[in-house]
């Protein structure tokens, strides 16, 4: 459906789309016994009116399916989006995980504000120390995982030592309404930088669908 977009060892790929912005219009107009065959300027004004006045049910008649590869800590934030969404993730109960973990492109300082998790980047020496500590912890986690498996521990228990930076995979299906809600929150500057990168990839993957660039410009 679209090219796979790579992000820091992970990826986003749009697999399927059902409906279009025209689905929004016809879902709204059916109450008056009317429908359109193609989008007119009146239809676009209707879309704007519906969104502005929070008449959101017509926005649930267009849906998307994505394949996502991302670190667990990103997915746990993403999976808070449940309304209008469906999730299915690879299971460490059945699959033995590869030694694949997310690697930060930079280390950031903690922020004094509880509303913002990060300040600017760490100084070079501190960033190097952070990277060494991180790599040591990741290596030990995967080593412990393999040792538990080697003595016969079930995968469903051995996985509990794996880090939040473990790369995982899932399918995410969502309505247009849910997609807009996700993008409005996760593209915001207060969102964690890593999930903002994925939100940008989601937006880019649907941007080329006919009418979507205009619709997102109206609603975000």
Residues noted as catalytic: 186
3-state secondary structure the chain: CCCCEEECCEEEEEEEEECCHHHHHHHHHHHHCCCCCCCCHHHHHHHHHHHHCCCCHHHHCCEEEEEEEEEHHHHHHHCCCCCCEEEEECCCCCCCCCCCECCCCCCEEECCCCCCCEEEECCHHHHHHHHHHHHHHHHHHHHHHHHHHHCCCCHHHHHHHCCCCEEEEEEEEEEHHHHHHHHHHHCCCCCCHHHHHHHHHHHHHHHCCCCHHHHHHHHC
How many other C-beta atoms are found inside a 10 Å radius of the C-beta of residue 99?
Answer: 14
Q: Is 16 exposed, middle or buried (0-12, 13-18, 19+ CB in 10 A)?
A: exposed
């Amino acid at each position: 459906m679209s090219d796979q977009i790579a992000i820091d060892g992970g990826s986003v790929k749009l697999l399927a789309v059902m409906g279009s912005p025209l689905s929004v219009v016809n879902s709204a107009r059916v109450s008056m016994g009317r429908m359109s065959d193609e989008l007119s300027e009146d239809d676009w004004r209707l879309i704007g009116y519906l969104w502005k006045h929070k008449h959101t049910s017509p926005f649930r008649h267009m849906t998307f399916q994505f394949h996502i590869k991302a670190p667990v800590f990103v997915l746990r934030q993403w999976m808070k989006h449940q309304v209008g969404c469906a999730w299915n993730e690879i299971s460490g109960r059945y699959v033995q995980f590869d030694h694949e973990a997310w690697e930060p492109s930079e280390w950031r300082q903690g922020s004094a504000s509880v509303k913002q998790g990060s300040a600017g980047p760490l100084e070079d020496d501190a960033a190097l120390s952070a990277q060494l500590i991180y790599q040591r912890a990741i290596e030990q986690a995967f080593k412990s995982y393999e040792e538990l498996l080697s003595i016969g521990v079930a995968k469903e228990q051995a996985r509990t030592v794996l880090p939040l930076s473990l790369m995982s995979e899932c399918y995410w299906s969502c309505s247009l309404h849910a997609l807009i809600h996700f993008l409005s929150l996760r593209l915001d500057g207060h969102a964690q930088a890593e999930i903002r990168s994925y939100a940008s990839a989601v937006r880019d993957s649907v941007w080329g669908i006919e009418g979507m660039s205009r619709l997102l410009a109206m609603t975000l």
